[in-house]
Chains A and B, each alone.
Chain A
């Protein structure tokens, strides 16, 4: 077997690598996992050790009008924001990939800037921009703000999907008589769809997690889940927050699984399987 052929040094270094990788993994994931058991803890204090099991805090969340409104707001803002971000981000990515023009690098940098500019600066900027237009404290304003924050993620995922898109396919479709819109709809979009969908999921997650612009721009009745959690932690540290957190983590994991599943499925579709 292969293992027996390995030298001692090789085996030791492999072991060290495995240990190191595990430590990194724990470092990344432990803070998130730490919160989950507490949501089932039968105690009003957010401390270990656990005091028996309860679903009380979940019950609290579902019964609370405050949380119900927050969930509703999160989706009311997140879904349209993700939709707008996806449409705009996809078009931008296609434009950037197909066209070759002066200043393309600058346009790309500007499009991606919300990823690197501190969110508080974006939020303050949005506030000053929206205030005279009467867009603060409106759903429209919040949706637009979140769409702007989510669009760069769509640009990135669609661009990477387009990087492996063979432009000859578009040419072939045109030579076969397909007008540009048909080429986009029947050839380009189906092939970059996994990128579009994962971009949309990312954009939704961005909006779903975002608290800073909500703090600055939202009216009291427009509080989203993270905004409500933020409040909850400042005022009354109540374990129902951990229940909300647990549900958010679960949702995030589900989204990631979907993205990964799409990626794998797409790769399998493309891979040439010669019989």
Chain B
């Protein structure tokens, strides 16, 4: 098995002094007040401020057209920001052309040069840096080993499967030892099983090489499983930047709660604040003890979001921080869990995802009580 020291042991870029490449903050990225508009009217990216630490794995997550890809393209140098500055390792690169940025990039469609063999593809970034043939050869060998493609150097990209091509593309983006690597939906074209395998490999490479990775995806699972932090984009604005767990469990906006995972949403009005918690009243007059996302004021309309797995089904009269009498209206068996649709007496419908063993007694028509903790009910500004 290849190890992390191998790639680092390869000598540095020809056009950069050794120290510059390995400076502690070399891979740190900062967006300051970055805006982008194509037509002079609509902003594709709005006032973006984002700090990414060296060695971090940050995912830009959002629906298509949310500005995540434009953000990545500005960092790569293929788009120029309308306003603001982007710096990498403390150096302002806002107007530096892409080929002088030294940033590795992996594309969704791999973008391997079809007229060059795998080895020639890998040697390309070394060749343009004026690295001599013997060193090129040894670094290509190492890079092929790194992605477990030792026997494929002589193949043409067209002769490789999608997963193999993506490994070569990864190796090519890393072979010149960039401190920052951008990945634009790199696994989008692969089937589910291969995608999960490649997620693991990319994570593994990230850990071994210590490079900063900025990863664009619209797949929330990918974002949650791979990232140190996730930046959720919508309509050109960053909605929230946080570790995956916070993104999932403590969403800051209704969009984040909605975009990532499933949730039950109840519109309500904040009645009273009590420390970190609040009491919200639903339209039907039901009181919910919840946790507001940001500074909420009494009288404010909010969307209360509760994950299906945060709800549990209990016998009537159990009680708790939040308890609602309800009737089971649908049951779907999923093997490890059961999904119940329950109609609360107040008129709302809830989806409950319960471990199979806990919900065995719940059949259609059963009267139950759904209960949840206040901290699992997020009151989000609308």
Of residues 282 through 322 on chain B, the ones whose CB sits less than 8 Å from some CB of chain A are none
Chain A interface: which of B27-35, B39-47, B122-130?
B122-130
Q: How large is the interface on B (under 10, 10 to 19, 20 to 34, 35 or more residues)?
A: 20 to 34
Determine the distance from Cα of A187 to Cα of B157 in the docked complex, in whole angstroms. 14
**How far is the CB of A102 from the nearest CB of chain B, in Å?**
13
- A173 on interface, CB distance cutoff 8 Å: yes
- A50 on interface, CB distance cutoff 8 Å: no
Q: Which residue of A lies closest to B165 (CB)?
A: A272
Pairwise interchain contact A174-B115, C-beta atoms closer than 8 A:
no
Interface string of B93-119 (1 = CB under 8 A from A): 000011111111101010111110000
A-B pairs with beta carbons under 8 A, tally = 83
Pairwise interchain contact B161-A274, C-beta atoms closer than 8 A:
yes
- A177 on interface, CB distance cutoff 8 Å: yes
Determine the distance from Cα of A175 to Cα of B175 in the docked complex, in whole angstroms. 12
Pairwise interchain contact A174-B109, C-beta atoms closer than 8 A:
no
* Residue from the list B78, B114, B115 in contact with A171, Cβ < 8 A: B78
- B176 on interface, CB distance cutoff 8 Å: yes
Pairwise interchain contact B76-A171, C-beta atoms closer than 8 A:
yes
Query: Which B residues are in CB contact (< 8 Å) with A273?
Result: 158-159
Pairwise interchain contact B103-A175, C-beta atoms closer than 8 A:
yes
- A2 on interface, CB distance cutoff 8 Å: no
Pairwise interchain contact B77-A176, C-beta atoms closer than 8 A:
no
- B172 on interface, CB distance cutoff 8 Å: yes
- B154 on interface, CB distance cutoff 8 Å: no
Pairwise interchain contact A182-B128, C-beta atoms closer than 8 A:
yes
Pairwise interchain contact B114-A270, C-beta atoms closer than 8 A:
yes
Query: Which A residues are in CB contact (< 8 Å) with B114?
Result: 169, 191, 269-270
- B364 on interface, CB distance cutoff 8 Å: no
Query: Which A residues are in CB contact (< 8 Å) with B97?
Result: 174, 179
Interface string of B127-150 (1 = CB under 8 A from A): 011000000000000000000000
Query: Which B residues are in CB contact (< 8 Å) with A175?
Result: 76-77, 98-99, 101, 103-105, 173, 182
- A235 on interface, CB distance cutoff 8 Å: no
Query: Which B residues are in CB contact (< 8 Å) with A274?
Result: 159-161
**How far is the CB of A177 from the nearest CB of chain B, in Å?**
5
Interface string of B173-196 (1 = CB under 8 A from A): 100100000100000000000000
Pairwise interchain contact A178-B99, C-beta atoms closer than 8 A:
yes
Pairwise interchain contact B128-A187, C-beta atoms closer than 8 A:
no
* Residue from the list A171, A182, A186 in contact with B98, Cβ < 8 A: A171
Determine the distance from Cα of A171 to Cα of B125 in the docked complex, in whole angstroms. 13
Pairwise interchain contact B105-A172, C-beta atoms closer than 8 A:
yes
**How far is the CB of B110 from the nearest CB of chain A, in Å?**
9
Q: Which residue of B lies closest to A176 (CB)?
A: B125
Q: A166-B109, A168-B109, A169-B113 are in contact. Are A174 and B161 (CB under 8 A)?
A: no
Pairwise interchain contact A269-B159, C-beta atoms closer than 8 A:
no
Determine the distance from Cα of A275 to Cα of B125 in the docked complex, in whole angstroms. 27
Determine the distance from Cα of A172 to Cα of B112 in the docked complex, in whole angstroms. 8
Pairwise interchain contact B115-A172, C-beta atoms closer than 8 A:
no
* Residue from the list B15, B103, B115, B161 in contact with A269, Cβ < 8 A: B115
Query: Which B residues are in CB contact (< 8 Å) with A177?
Result: 15, 99-100, 102, 125, 128-129, 176
Pairwise interchain contact B124-A186, C-beta atoms closer than 8 A:
yes
* Residue from the list B115, B176, B182 in contact with A176, Cβ < 8 A: B176
Query: Which A residues are in CB contact (< 8 Å) with B100?
Result: 177
Q: Which residue of B lies closest to A275 (CB)?
A: B159
Query: Which B residues are in CB contact (< 8 Å) with A178?
Result: 99, 124-125, 128
* Residue from the list A171, A180, A275 in contact with B107, Cβ < 8 A: A171
**How far is the CB of A265 from the nearest CB of chain B, in Å?**
12
* Residue from the list A172, A269, A270 in contact with B111, Cβ < 8 A: A172
**How far is the CB of A190 from the nearest CB of chain B, in Å?**
5
**How far is the CB of B275 from the nearest CB of chain A, in Å?**
50
Determine the distance from Cα of A187 to Cα of B124 in the docked complex, in whole angstroms. 10
Determine the distance from Cα of A175 to Cα of B103 in the docked complex, in whole angstroms. 6
Pairwise interchain contact B77-A271, C-beta atoms closer than 8 A:
no
**How far is the CB of A117 from the nearest CB of chain B, in Å?**
36
Query: Which B residues are in CB contact (< 8 Å) with A186?
Result: 124
Query: Which B residues are in CB contact (< 8 Å) with A172?
Result: 105, 107, 111-113, 172
Determine the distance from Cα of A191 to Cα of B97 in the docked complex, in whole angstroms. 23
Query: Which A residues are in CB contact (< 8 Å) with B128?
Result: 176-179, 182
Interface string of A231-275 (1 = CB under 8 A from B): 000000000000000000000000000000000000001111111
Pairwise interchain contact B158-A272, C-beta atoms closer than 8 A:
yes
Q: Which residue of A lies closest to B78 (CB)?
A: A171
Determine the distance from Cα of A183 to Cα of B78 in the docked complex, in whole angstroms. 14
Query: Which B residues are in CB contact (< 8 Å) with A269?
Result: 114-115, 156, 158
The listed residue with most A CB atoms (<10 A of its CB), out of B15, B158, B160, B176, is B158
Interface string of A154-195 (1 = CB under 8 A from B): 000000000000101101111111111011001100110000
Pairwise interchain contact B98-A168, C-beta atoms closer than 8 A:
no
Q: Which residue of B lies closest to A274 (CB)?
A: B161
Pairwise interchain contact A271-B158, C-beta atoms closer than 8 A:
yes
Q: Which residue of B lies closest to A186 (CB)?
A: B124
Query: Which B residues are in CB contact (< 8 Å) with A183?
Result: 99
Q: A174-B99, A274-B159 are in contact. Are A191 and B105 (CB under 8 A)?
A: no
Q: A175-B76, A274-B161 are in contact. Are A191 and B125 (CB under 8 A)?
A: no
Determine the distance from Cα of A273 to Cα of B128 in the docked complex, in whole angstroms. 29
* 13 pairs, A vs B, C-beta closer than 8 Å: A168-B111, A172-B107, A172-B111, A172-B112, A175-B103, A176-B124, A176-B172, A178-B99, A182-B128, A183-B99, A191-B114, A269-B156, A274-B159
Q: 5 nearest interchain CB pairs?
A: A176-B125, A172-B111, A175-B105, A174-B98, A168-B111
Chain B interface residues (CB < 8 Å from chain A): 15, 76-78, 97-105, 107, 109, 111-115, 124-125, 128-129, 156, 158-161, 172-173, 176, 182
**Besides the contacts A176-B173, A180-B99, A269-B114, what 17 more A-B pairs have beta carbons closer than 8 Å?**
A172-B105, A174-B77, A174-B97, A175-B77, A175-B105, A176-B125, A177-B100, A177-B125, A177-B176, A178-B128, A179-B97, A179-B99, A182-B128, A191-B115, A269-B115, A270-B158, A275-B159
